[in-house]
A = this chain, B = another copy of it.
């Protein structure tokens, strides 16, 4: 199949540091290539891919955002895509909003994966307006605020199966991985570790926007003897951190649309203790690959009996449900669905024109 993958230009594909969307686009793109498809990746010029790379800009634009307009580069990217569009069987957008009016005008089947939270009030009128645009959600939970949109499927994210290694044994610590922002509730994670008597190792980025929150509410907790803060971790550091952890703590306070770190942990055989929110119940099997909790008491109790979870079962859940191979096959089915739906509308339009001519 001839496939265009259209990624945001903020980070390279894959991203050097944090960046969920661009990371998933990378896994999907490389796996589709591996499965023999002809893929063109529209992404920042410092991306690394086996697909054909088309880019309007040499480097990912996040570091330059104070001086440039993100829209300028995305406008060029969309224009490059428009020129190439007739060559593709399907266009797969990961750019949320920017492409919507344009995609509707193109005479090529397309689909858009929404990667963010969808419970923001301004999104309902937006996707209500673009009600015929085919969409993919990354969890069933994610799509709940927009029941009227045109959902073609939910496709859970997947990882290359050799990205992390299965570790049958763990060292004595819990892991926390992510951004240090209010809704990730690192404070809860530290309390869980402290109350259950297990050290916590934290690999987490602090965005500028969260700097004040960090200094006021999180930094004071870092002096506790159970806490080790590693800063923002590279892929390699994250791998080590997750593989040897007794559990990943994810005490989130927001509707996480997917939560890639959960399946990263599972792929190491590391169970997850997560608050019930967003996609958690779709990813974690309570009592099998971790524990789903509703408050700190339950979380501490889960931490105390974490060794009852079989690490082999975690890895098995990953291999069954969360590999890049499974994700790519799911998307190929979605592409076929979108192409069929597009052809039906086109032939209806041709029939309508023919009927009009016959009547005339």
Contact = CB atoms under 8 A, between A and B. Distances in A.
Interface of A: 56, 64, 67-69, 71-73, 75-76, 78-79, 82, 97-98, 100-102, 104-105, 120-123, 125-126, 129-130
Contacts of A97: 69, 71-72, 75
Protomer copies: 2
Given A75-B100, A100-B75, A125-B76, A82 B105 contact: yes
A82 B56 CA distance: 25
Nearest to A102: B102
B67 A126 contact: no
- Residue from A69, A73, A82 whose CB has the most chain B CB atoms within 10 Å: A69
A323 to B, nearest CB: 33
Given A56-B129, A105-B105, A129-B56, A100 B122 contact: no
B67 A120 contact: yes
Contact of A102 (B73, B105, B130): B105
A132 B66 CA distance: 28
Contacts of A121: 67
A79 B56 CA distance: 24
Main secondary structure of the interface of A (DSSP, over half): helix
Ranked nearest first, the 4 interchain pairs of A and B with the lowest CB-CB distance are: A79-B101, A78-B101, A68-B122, A72-B126
A123 to B, nearest CB: 7
A82 B102 CA distance: 9
28 contacts: A56-B125, A67-B120, A67-B122, A68-B120, A69-B97, A71-B97, A71-B98, A72-B97, A72-B122, A72-B123, A72-B126, A75-B100, A75-B126, A75-B130, A76-B125, A76-B126, A76-B129, A76-B130, A78-B101, A79-B100, A79-B104, A79-B129, A82-B101, A82-B104, A101-B102, A102-B102, A102-B105, A105-B105
Nearest to A72: B126
A98 B56 CA distance: 15
A134 to B, nearest CB: 16
Contacts of A79: 100-101, 104, 129-130
Nearest to A78: B101
Which of A79, A101, A102, A105 gathers the greatest number of chain B CB atoms within 10 Å?
Answer: A101
A302 to B, nearest CB: 35
A69 B122 contact: yes
Contacts of A123: 72
A201 to B, nearest CB: 34
Contacts of A82: 101, 104-105
A212 to B, nearest CB: 16
A85 to B, nearest CB: 10
Given A69-B97, A72-B122, A102-B105, 19 more contacts: A56-B125, A64-B122, A67-B121, A68-B122, A69-B122, A71-B71, A71-B97, A71-B98, A72-B125, A73-B122, A75-B98, A75-B101, A76-B101, A78-B101, A79-B101, A79-B129, A79-B130, A101-B102, A102-B102
